[in-house]
Amino acid sequence: METEETNQDLKKEHQHKISQVIEEVGKVVVGQKHMVNRLLIGLFTQNHILLEGVPGIAKTLTVNTLAKVLQLDFKRIQFTPDLLPADLVGTMIYNQKKAVFEVKKGPIFSNMILADEVNRSPAKVQSALLESMQEKQVTIGEETYSLDRPFLVMATQNPVDQEGTYPLPEAQVDRFMMKVHVKYPSKEEELEVMRRMSNMSFKPELKTILSKKDIFAIQEEINAVSLSESLEKYIVELVLATRDPQTYQLDDMAHYIQFGASPRASINLNLAAKAVAFFDQRDFVLPEDIKEVADDVMNHRILLNYEAEADGITTHDVIKNILSKVEISK
């Protein structure tokens, strides 16, 4: 009984610390609570996040600040057209004194990786990054090295100035748990951003809130959040509706969808909904939790055809339609 109470107290403390993390990040970053929330979901469910938005809306700053608030190793990699896989994972260097080849590990050997402008690098570099994301290990020469845990990749890409970019293939985008569209700040937020950033002596003191031990404990606690069978079926129905829209009375959307979401969508909806419930201090998932994360989890997994583009239909419209039509079975 005592152990149960201790576990409950520990869980409450962790939930409180998560709110503190968001507060600390807010000392530097104005607004963007949605983005911070999604990055934390990625961290606590051992997944990776893709951020998309125009330049200058604090994508890099947010990730940087979050790394300082969490006690984790952080590396930022600026992706450029001349970047090589060895610049990412590391290489073998010849030591003349010892007359042997030694391994020089690359920046991928960190807990948090910011892959900035990931669509600026050629496919071979992208696939090296995505392989390490999937396998959580890297091969240099003949040796294979495991990556440190927790391991979180946050990739950013700019939708503007698409010239000179190498768009991520669908199969690789699918490996990201969520694709988060980062929006412009509101009028009030913009005013606050201007005041803060134009003050040259602005250097806030950031406290470290969560240790690695805390992060692993939170991962376990999120894993223990319960999801009823009817909601499990609801998640599967949502994903199936993207593959077979006619069955779900989505005839107006059916001719726009080229490919539906993969099974990774249902796995990640399950995990993300549990994390949202945990952040809301519940140990069970509600339908609202699933609906809240559905757009971020599925928007990059549905492939639309040219007809949709011509009619101005986006994946967000399709998901909105699916959420309004698919019902929860008892």
Identify whether the C-beta of residue 86 lies closer than 8 Å to the C-beta of residue 68.
no
Instruction: Tell me what the pLDDT averaged over the chain comes to.
Output: 83
Residue 253: both structure tokens together: 């959307």
Residue numbers of the domain that contains 314? 226-325
pLDDT higher than 70, residue 5: no
Domain boundary among 154, 180, 214: 214
What is the rounded CA–CA span in Å between residue 328 and residue 233? 8
pLDDT higher than 80, residue 250: no
pLDDT higher than 70, residue 104: yes
pLDDT higher than 70, residue 160: no
Are 135 and 259 found together in one domain? no
pLDDT higher than 60, residue 2: no
Residue 19 pLDDT grade (very low, low, confident, very high; cuts 50, 70, 90): confident
Residue 219 lies in a domain: no
Domain boundary among 179, 194, 214: 214
Q: Is 105 helix (H, G, I), strand (E, B) or coil?
A: strand
Q: What is the pLDDT of residues 314-327, one digit of tens each?
A: 888 888 888 888 78
Which CATH number fits the domain that encloses residue 94? 3.40.50.300
Are 208 and 236 found together in one domain? no
Domain tally, the chain: 2
Contacts of the segment 97-100: beta carbons below 8 A, 24+ positions apart: none
Mean pLDDT for 173-181 is 88
Give the pLDDT score at 3.
64
First to last CA, the chain: 34
**pTM for this prediction:** 0.88
Identify whether the C-beta of residue 106 lies closer than 8 Å to the C-beta of residue 91.
yes
Give the pLDDT score at 161.
55
Are 200 and 239 found together in one domain? no
Give the pLDDT score at 162.
61
Mean pLDDT for 282-306 is 87
Residues whose CB is less than 8 angstroms from the CB of residue 150 and which lie 6 or more positions away in sequence, other chains included:
43, 46, 72, 111, 212, 215, 216, 219
Are 281 and 140 found together in one domain? no
Q: Is 102 helix (H, G, I), strand (E, B) or coil?
A: strand
